């Protein structure tokens, strides 16, 4: 169990751990934004404004859920820390979600308020009004400090992240302040985060990779974060060439895109970019399998051995190749400090030796508390206190290798975990669609790409272009099926159940 000296000695009335630490980083640059540097002191004063706005009459939000829709940057951090400090549960919304997805998260989490900017307000106003969720814009917060703040103890709920899985609707993963601290500290320790580190942030901030591994670890260490509104290969490479970063973290799709981008640069620029990558102390890949070919291609291009690690929203990071030592292409290394991990076979027996596949199960202080308002799903997710990840792995020569997932209904595309059932449920709301089946197809860039086989209702007419346009209104862009096939019937087994492997064959 990882407990820092601070958390052991923590007294009631203290601020959340990451906020406490920020005070010690004072005048250092926390965020380098396009319009200037934001220091840790400035972040703290913006955090106080948010807390004061959320606590006009009371001194503790008592774990009320507060949603926020904000671009990556200091405002996002101030909202997250301001909610935490006020005793609320931070519930980030995805900037690329469709209104019905925001509506689902706001309703499911029973959000008490939503924080956004004046610019973004219009995009969510109708959704919030329909649900009666008040909107707070950062521009309207006053430069006040909160009159009184609650005691943030480690077992209080801190954050809900929505994850798509084997159910037709996403589940809210609740992490406590203690869980978040453990998830951060294991990476600070294993990957040797330092105050003089600098890292770009171009991953979305509604998932752990961006929130914990990049943003929270960097701010815990007193390092500098450079946010990008979204991933932009040219913009990132320009800063890499300038030697701006010491640490870099991305999903495999981004490394595939960067290889393309670097290889098409003029010779004169390519050398500086490769030098920029070569000079970094750490480059990490995760959230989806890194093909060994990409590991090798990246090393030939930049001289960097990517450190591949494995994690999940419910547990933070669990397995990592070593900081010092062999980083084996295709493998995800060993359990991180403080993480207990075992493989379990189909009969529920723990696998002791090597070369025998089993489900990864995890225990430890970083493992989430519960699925929000879903006691049965929470109970099913654990066996004897171990969290069942649903990922199958094998241990070979001392390192774990991920073999796949136990469910065919989970798709990993561009590092996003998508639920085939959730996309099917959305498609079935189209009046022309009678039946459908969604599968993931292997893809060199995206890992998997979403494909849908669709059976139309009698006499209904629908073409791929119209359906795609409709999907874009209903779901996040990364969930929209990239391949569509209109069929007369879906392949089914003797029980009448759609056979997903046969659906894949159709493509």
Phi-psi region of 282 (alpha: psi -120 to 50; beta: other; left: phi over 0): beta
Largest CA distance in the chain: 70
Sheet holding 36-39, edge to edge: 36-39, 29-33, 224-227, 198-201
Position with the least CB separation from ligand AMP: 417
Q: C-beta of 256: minimal distance to ligand MLC in Å? A: 9
Full DSSP string of 321-361: --SSS---TT--BEEPTT-EEEEE-TTSPBP-SSS--EEEE
Interface region with ligand AMP, contact rule CB under 6 A, candidates 39-47, 222-230, 287-295, 371-379? 287-295
Of 66-74, 142-150, 241-249, 304-312: span binding ligand AMP (CB under 6 A): 304-312
Minimum distance from CB of 332 to ligand AMP (Å)? 5
What sign results for the dihedral spanned by CA atoms 272, 278, 281, 283?
positive
Binding-site partner at residue 251 among ligand AMP, ligand MLC, none, CB < 5 to 8 Å by type: ligand MLC
Looking at 128, 203, 331, 332, which residue binds ligand AMP (CB under 6 A)? 332
Q: Kindly state the smallest distance separating residue 407's Cβ from ligand MLC, in Å.
A: 15
Listed in sequence order, the residues at least 6 apart from 234 whose beta carbon sits closer than 8 Å to its beta carbon are 261
Interacting residues toward ligand MLC by CB under 6 A: 203-204, 207-210, 230-231, 251, 253-254, 286-287, 311-313, 413-417, 446, 449, 477-478, 482
List binders of ligand AMP among 379-418 (CB under 6 A).
389, 391, 402, 405, 412, 417
Using alpha carbons, list the distances in angstroms from residue 88 to 148, 152, 334, 373.
Answer: 14, 10, 35, 16
- Residue 311 as a binder of ligand AMP (CB under 6 A): the answer is yes
Residue nearest ligand MLC by beta-carbon distance: 414
Nearer to ligand AMP (CB atom), residue 276 or residue 316: 316
**Are 170 and 109 in contact, with CB atoms under 8 Å apart?**
no
Report which of 447, 450, 452 is spatially closest to residue 414, judged by C-alpha positions. 447
- Closest approach, Cβ 29 to ligand AMP, in A, equals 29
Q: Does 312 bind ligand AMP (CB under 6 A)?
A: yes
CB 438 within 8 A of CB 467: no
Q: Give the residue carrying structure tokens 């493992």.
A: 367
Binding track, positions 45-64, relative to ligand AMP; x by CB under 6 A: --------------------
Contact set with ligand AMP (CB under 6 A): 163, 207-208, 286-289, 308, 310-313, 332, 389, 391, 402, 405, 412, 417
């Amino acid at each position: 169990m990882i407990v820092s000296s601070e958390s052991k000695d923590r007294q009631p009335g203290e601020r959340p751990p990451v906020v406490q630490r920020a005070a010690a980083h004072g005048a250092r640059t926390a965020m380098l934004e396009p319009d200037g540097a934001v220091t840790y002191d400035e972040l703290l004063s913006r955090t106080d404004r948010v807390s004061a706005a959320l606590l006009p009459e009371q001194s503790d939000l008592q774990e009320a859920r507060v949603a926020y829709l904000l671009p990556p940057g200091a405002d996002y951090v101030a909202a997250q820390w301001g909610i935490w400090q006020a005793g609320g549960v931070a519930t980030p919304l995805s900037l690329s979600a469709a209104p019905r997805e925001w509506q689902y998260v706001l309703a499911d989490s029973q959000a008490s308020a939503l924080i956004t900017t004046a610019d973004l307000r219009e995009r969510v106003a109708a959704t919030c009004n329909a649900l009666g969720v008040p909107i707070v814009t950062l521009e309207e917060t006053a430069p006040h400090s909160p009159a009184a703040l609650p005691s943030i103890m480690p077992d209080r709920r801190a954050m809900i992240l929505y994850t798509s899985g084997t159910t037709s609707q996403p589940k809210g993963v609740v992490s406590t302040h203690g869980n978040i601290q453990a998830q951060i500290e294991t990476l600070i320790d294993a990957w040797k985060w330092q105050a003089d580190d600098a890292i770009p942030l171009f991953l979305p901030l509604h998932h752990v990779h961006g929130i914990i591994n990049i943003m929270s670890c960097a701010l815990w260490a007193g390092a500098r974060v450079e946010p990008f509104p979204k991933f932009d290969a040219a913009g990132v490479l320009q800063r890499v060439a300038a030697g701006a970063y010491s640490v870099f973290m991305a999903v495999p799709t981004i490394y595939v895109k960067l290889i393309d981008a670097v290889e098409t640069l003029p010779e004169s620029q390519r050398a500086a970019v490769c030098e920029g990558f070569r000079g970094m102390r750490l480059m990490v890949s995760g959230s989806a399998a890194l093909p060994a070919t990409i590991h090798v291609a990246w090393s030939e291009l930049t001289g960097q051995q990517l450190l591949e690690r494995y994690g999940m929203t419910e547990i933070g990071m669990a397995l990592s190749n070593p900081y010092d030592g062999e980083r084996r292409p295709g493998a995800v290394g060993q359990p991180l400090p403080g993480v207990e991990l075992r493989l379990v076979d189909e009969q529920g027996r723990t696998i002791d030796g090597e070369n025998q596949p089993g489900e990864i199960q995890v225990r430890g202080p970083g493992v989430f508390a519960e699925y929000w308002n879903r006691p049965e799903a929470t109970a099913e997710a654990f066996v004897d206190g171990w969290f069942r990840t649903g990922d199958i792995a094998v241990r070979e020569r001392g390192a774990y290798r991920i073999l796949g997932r136990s469910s065919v209904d989970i798709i990993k595309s561009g590092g996003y975990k998508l639920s085939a059932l959730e996309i099917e449920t959305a498609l079935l709301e189209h009046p022309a669609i009678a039946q459908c089946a969604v599968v993931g197809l292997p893809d060199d860039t995206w890992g998997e790409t979403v494909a849908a086989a669709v059976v139309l209702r009698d006499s209904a007419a629908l073409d791929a272009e119209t359906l795609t346009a409709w999907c874009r209104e209903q779901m996040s862009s990364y969930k929209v099926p990239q391949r569509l096939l209109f069929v007369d019937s879906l392949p089914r087994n003797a029980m009448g159940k759609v056979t997903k492997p046969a659906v894949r064959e159709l493509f």
